[in-house]
Amino acid sequence: MTAVVYSEYGGPEVLRLDEVDLPTPGDDDVLVRVMARSVNAGDWHLLRGTPFLVRLVYGGYRKPKFPILGVDIAGRVEAVGMNVVDFQSGDEVVADLSKNGFGGFAEYVSLPASAVVRKPATVSFEAAAAAPTAGVAALQALRDVGKLQSGETVLVNGASGGVGTFAVQIAKFLGAEVTAVCSTAKMETVRAIGADHVIDYTQEDVTERETEYDLILDAAGTHSMRSYARVLRPTGRYVFVGGPTRRFVTALLAGPMLSMTGGKRFRTFMLNPDRDDLAFVMELLESGDVEPVIDRQYHLGEVPAAIQDLEAGRVTGKLVVV
């Protein structure tokens, strides 16, 4: 089969299109023909091996342990292992591969049936592939970490990105009043997906506003937590979801200390790939409550360009590889 592979850390130039062996499913596995996959920040972190923690967590100190990147997939079951009873050939499915060796940037992937979720018939492969990482991250950050309640106000910083576009819509589904922060060029897109208020960060510093929010979901990391504290309500919650590595480290270390005094809470989000949460996100797509924002589509041989575009920030919503 054809796959995009790499054998050393580096930029998109180390990726190459190559022929590799078709994976053989084990007794508890399904073989999926991948129809679409999306690109995530994790792909270029794994590609470059930075921050160094990535190498420690995924076992590739000197060179990558997993030769094929790609976390989010949607496709069609081609074969099943002898113990698999919940799926059969022809079923349309979606999955997060982060706990199963990655491998989405290939024509086929084998993974445990326990990690697979059915794709609703009315949801396209492209839309489904956009959801496993960004959609589940937005859901968990808002519902589980941010403890968002209906009627509360939420500020989404980085609202035009992959997680941000899902967060705006899921927060609305959960009954929140949503203020979204993005650039001038992306304001109309963010309004179109349901934001009640949109702030152009090129014209206004959100941390200098007089408005206070119950929850801030930070998917951009453009300000310090102390700055965000100024626009949090006395019992407000701040959740760091994504941004520069230095902001992540600072949030991880300083958040607990800032949370020790007063009623404001500062948390750093860590994604927990969860089959039930992915199934719930698929239900939101099926009902139309959430519609993935797909900026562009690429072919498999264009994965290096897709990763380069994502790393450069030239994206609204998600990039999908078909």
Domains and CATH numbers, the chain: 2-130+292-321 (3.90.180.10), 133-268 (3.40.50.720)
Q: Which of 95, 97, 101 is nearest to 125 (CA)?
A: 95
Task: Report angle CA 155, 209, 255 to the nearest 5 degrees.
Answer: 55
Give the pLDDT of residue 258: 74
Give the pLDDT of residue 246: 67
Give the pLDDT of residue 243: 75
Residue 141: partners with Cβ closer than 8 Å, 6 or more residues away:
163, 167, 217, 239, 241, 269
For tokens 């799926």, the residue is 87
* 225: pLDDT strictly greater than 80: yes
pTM of the model: 0.95
Give the pLDDT of residue 157: 98
147: burial class by Cβ within 10 Å (0-12, 13-18, 19+)? middle
Q: Confidence class of residue 60 from pLDDT cuts 50, 70 and 90?
A: confident
Q: Confidence class of residue 115 from pLDDT cuts 50, 70 and 90?
A: very high
pLDDT, one tens digit per residue, over 286-301 is 999 999 999 999 999 9
Q: What is the DSSP string of 233-256?
A: EEEEEEEE-S--HHHHHHHHHHHH
For tokens 């960060």, the residue is 201
pLDDT, one tens digit per residue, over 143-157 is 999 999 999 999 999
Q: How far apart are CA 151 and CA 39, in angstroms?
A: 33
